[in-house]
Amino acid sequence: MTGQPTVLLGVTGGIAAYKAAELLRGFQKAGMEVRVMMTEAATRFVTPLTFETLSGHQVHVGEMLRADSTIAHIEEGNVADIMVIAPATANTLAKMAAGFADNLLTATYLAYAGTVVVAPSMNTNMWRHPATQSNVAVLRERGVYVVEPGAGELACGVYGSGRMADPESIVAEVKYRLQVERKTDLRGLHVVITSGGTREPIDAVRYIGNRSSGKMGAALARGAFDRGAVVHLVKANVDLPRAPGVTEIETPTAAEMYQEVMRLLPETDILIMAAAVADYSVVAPAGGKIGKSHADLSVSLVPTTDILCEVATRKEGKQYVVGFAAEYGMEGLARARDKLERKNLDMIVFNDISRSDIGFNSDYNEVVILTPQGESRVERAPKETIAEIILDHIARELRSRREEFLPVT
């Protein structure tokens, strides 16, 4: 897993296949990770080794029936933020329009739930043919973005339209689509985010608390709202400006936060627990102010309810649940992994709270995102950037969960 967007580049068998190498470099220069899939016909124009060398990843080729390919058409689609078929031949466009899944690339297209961009490339007459034009119209109707071919001298020596759009235009279109998509990829989802630090009263004026500022939670709430989610921010003792569009609910103590999260849970699609929730509360807080007359003073503490553990027992499999692990030192990474399993989470975000330049009450964070599938380190960055990367991971995961694929036999 990485924080960069991943492009799945499908290369089909046309003379413009050689330009796909330049296109791949263009995606990389724009900060994208690229995986490549080729049809058998494409390998007659350019070898898989070219793309393997440039992308740094294995290239999947050809037919569905290869043992290793049966999973590739799902796996590659799952990691991709966008699928780009360039060049897209008349033959592949026709198969896509008709719903054929007779090779790895067309099967992947059918199984893929994200945005698809195609850059057609063919002889002028083939491009103008009513069959091709009607296939392209069908694909457009279904939400496929078409980067129109340009006019120029074609490989067959004829001048006309059908030449694959130049790589810069395709990269620009993909960048634009990723931006638009990112803006709406949580549209309509109900996201609950907890933030801040709970305070457990000792008496009417004193409490046991922590240094959480609520900045991490606020960045996540703003990011989720910007991506179209309906956001509830359940916050404890946070002194930050209100985030526009976000419903904020005050829950000063762990018990109140627990109540609120449970109240919202049935309607929640994504729960992100960024709050520093007290692990203990005082058994019987004094009603007034405890005076100084005591020679010594002790208070009895009792464990608070672990909100995430409760959620795990009640969530009925629907919600995507994210915890944070505030650990002292990098050796806490193993404990974070343990929390991921023990609290039955979909994701846990580890941060090292021994550092003063990240984490508690800092504008920055540096995290490791852990899921049952793997882990990804995110370098020190403003909390807004960290929030975007966390939300990217969640959106990608949800997209792959929405996929319903019927294997081709």
Residues of the shown chain interacting with ligand PMT in the complex, contacts defined by CB under 6 A: 195, 212-216, 254, 273-277, 279, 304, 306-308, 323-326, 339, 351, 353, 359-361
* Known active-site residue 156: yes
Measured from the CB atom, the residue of 35 and 235 that comes closer to ligand PMT is: 235
> CA 4 to CA 84: how far, in whole Å?
16
Q: How far is the CB of 29 from ligand PMT (least distance, A)?
A: 33
Q: How far is the CB of 255 from ligand PMT (least distance, A)?
A: 10
> CA 66 to CA 144: how far, in whole Å?
28
Q: How far is the CB of 315 from ligand PMT (least distance, A)?
A: 13
> CA 262 to CA 305: how far, in whole Å?
12
Give the three-state DSSP class for 249: strand
Listed residue (160, 167, 171) closest to 19, CA to CA? 167
Q: How far is the CB of 225 from ligand PMT (least distance, A)?
A: 17
Q: What angle do CA 135, 140, 144 make, to 5 degrees?
A: 110
> CA 252 to CA 278: how far, in whole Å?
11
Q: Based on DSSP, count helices (H) and strands (E) in the chain, helices before strands.
A: 13, 20
Measured from the CB atom, the residue of 117 and 307 that comes closer to ligand PMT is: 307
For 114, the token pair is 């994200």
Q: How far is the CB of 17 from ligand PMT (least distance, A)?
A: 46
Q: What angle do CA 83, 72, 136 make, to 5 degrees?
A: 35
> CA 138 to CA 132: how far, in whole Å?
10
Measured from the CB atom, the residue of 102 and 338 that comes closer to ligand PMT is: 338
Measured from the CB atom, the residue of 109 and 324 that comes closer to ligand PMT is: 324
Measured from the CB atom, the residue of 14 and 214 that comes closer to ligand PMT is: 214
Measured from the CB atom, the residue of 91 and 198 that comes closer to ligand PMT is: 198
> CA 6 to CA 153: how far, in whole Å?
33
Q: How far is the CB of 359 from ligand PMT (least distance, A)?
A: 4
Q: What is the DSSP string of 354-406?
A: T-SSSSTT-SEEEEEEEETTEEEEEEEEEHHHHHHHHHHHHHHHHHHHH----
Q: How far is CA 152 from CA 88, 160, 198, in A?
A: 17, 5, 66
Q: How far is the CB of 118 from ligand PMT (least distance, A)?
A: 41
Q: How far is CA 323 from CA 4, 307, 371, in A?
A: 22, 10, 11
Q: How far is the CB of 287 from ligand PMT (least distance, A)?
A: 25
Catalytic residue among 71, 131, 137, 156: 156
Listed residue (271, 268, 366) closest to 309, CA to CA? 271
Q: What is the dihedral of CA 47, 50, 52, 53, to 10 degrees?
A: 150
Residue 357 near residue 365, CB atoms below 8 Å: no
Measured from the CB atom, the residue of 24 and 275 that comes closer to ligand PMT is: 275
Measured from the CB atom, the residue of 119 and 275 that comes closer to ligand PMT is: 275
> CA 149 to CA 125: how far, in whole Å?
13
Residues recognised as catalytic: 156
